[in-house]
Structure 1
Amino acid sequence: MSLVFATSNKNKFEEARKIAEGHDLELEHRDVPYVEIQADDVVDVVKPSAQQATELLDSPCFVEDAGLFIEVLNGFPGPYSAYVYKTLQNRGILRLMEGKENRRAEFVSAVGYCEPGYEPRIFKGKVRGTITKESRGSGGFGFDPIFMPDLGEGGTFAEMSTEMKDALSHRGESIEKLVKWYVRNNRADGDRNESDS
């Protein structure tokens, strides 16, 4: 059994592939040129993206979007995280956090699965944590070196093994929900429009 993950991010694909392998599901990587809209909620971003990717591929597939929401910055960078990371990187976020006592943040992930002719089905994941005062670790990607989840052994995502990060992360949760649902239903007829939060 296989499923297409439409993404330009090879790191995301590798994380998802390892999760899917644990459920005997093979993921296929496709870099599809769909247009990702800008919105204040990651769910609103993935819905049209999943529909567009499905139309371009003419087959079932899923997309994923995630954001880092920092409390003291009123949820910034949120769904604009990819752009902010490219422009400010971790150094820029750490500068914005200088002198801030409240360092609480959360990562949120939304996966949109779609089949031709159907509305997308959404799977969400979330992890709470804190922004560290310096980058730590060489693993992961993006904001992983400055985000320390509440659960775990006190390290940042970049200090963890891929297996540990997948077990704790927002993306690990949303992908796991999708994979379990997909394997269980194997695209069986039923209500595909319901969301899993």
Structure 2
Amino acid sequence: MVYFVSSNERKIEDMAYAWKAGETPLRILQLDVPEVLSSDLDIVVREKAIAAYRLALVPLFVEHGGLFIEHLNGFPGPLVKPFWERLQDRICALIPAGLSRAARVVQKVCYCDGRTLRVYSGTTLGEIACERRGDAGVDWEPMFIPAGHTRTLGQMPREERLRCSASAEALRAFRSDIGL
């Protein structure tokens, strides 16, 4: 038995939807886990998993991601949450007209059972939209257009958004590895 730990309702809903094809139900622990501030996504997700395990003492996994914007030299990366909280929709305007809007989303899932710590990764290439479009997804997703698409993640229904999702890719790798 393994639990998904998050305090974010939308992440919980997306993870439950992505998990539903499995034989075992997704078990959820809604915990507010402190997050380390670091520009290294692996450090952030590992520390988050360890902190969650110390609170719950059950096998679990956490998820954390980063938005790496080419024009900003990869910023905000895993610091996307505080970046988003301060700038929100103004992120689109940080890239002047005519310059590259290329970006990538990297999501990591980290499993921890008190003895083992494993990280699984997913990546989605795309670009930052010129303005916010749509209301679906988490925080910055209405500003990210996956490669090969014309709509932002925020404009896509959940099923389509998760097909483009780096988080769903990391979750599939995790489930495949542990046989869930």
TM (norm. structure 2) is 0.93
The equivalent residue for 2:127 is 130
Which of 137, 141, 153 is residue 140 of structure 1 equivalent to? 137
Aligned to 1:26, the other structure's residue is in SS state coil
Distance 1:17 1:77 in 2: 27
The equivalent residue for 1:84 is 83
CA contact (8 A) 2:93 2:130 kept: no
Distance 1:161 1:180 in 2: 25
The equivalent residue for 1:43 is 42
The CA deviation at 1:181 is: 2.4
Q: Deviation digits for residues 134-160 of structure 1, max 9, x if unmatched?
A: 111222221111110013x42110111
Q: Which runs of 4+ in 1 moved over 6 A?
A: none
- Map 1:14-93 to 2 at 5 A: 14-90=13-89, 92-93=90-91
The CA deviation at 1:119 is: 3.2
| Percent of matched pairs sharing the same residue | 31
Distance 1:63 1:135 in 2: 27
Q: Deviation digits for residues 3-48 of structure 1, max 9, x if unmatched?
A: 3111111111111111111122322221224321111121110112
The CA deviation at 1:168 is: 1.2
CA contact (8 A) 1:165 1:172 kept: no
The equivalent residue for 1:172 is 168
Distance 2:108 2:132 in 1: 25
Distance 2:13 2:126 in 1: 23
CA-based RMSD of the aligned residues comes to 1.5
Distance 1:100 1:41 in 2: 29
Matched, 1:120 2:117: yes
TM (norm. structure 1) is 0.86
**Count of residues in correspondence between the two structures:** 180
Q: Deviation digits for residues 55-108 of structure 1, max 9, x if unmatched?
A: 221110011111110001011111110111111102x21121133520000001
The equivalent residue for 1:3 is 2
The equivalent residue for 2:177 is 181
Distance 1:103 1:29 in 2: 36
CA contact (8 A) 1:69 1:107 kept: yes
The CA deviation at 1:172 is: 1.2
CA contact (8 A) 2:2 2:59 kept: yes
Q: Given the superposition, is the C-alpha separation of residues 100 and 86 from structure 1 closer, same or farther in structure 2, using an over 3 Å criterion?
A: farther
Q: Deviation digits for residues 164-192 of structure 1, max 9, x if unmatched?
A: 1111111111112112323x2x6xxxxxx
Matched, 1:155 2:154: no
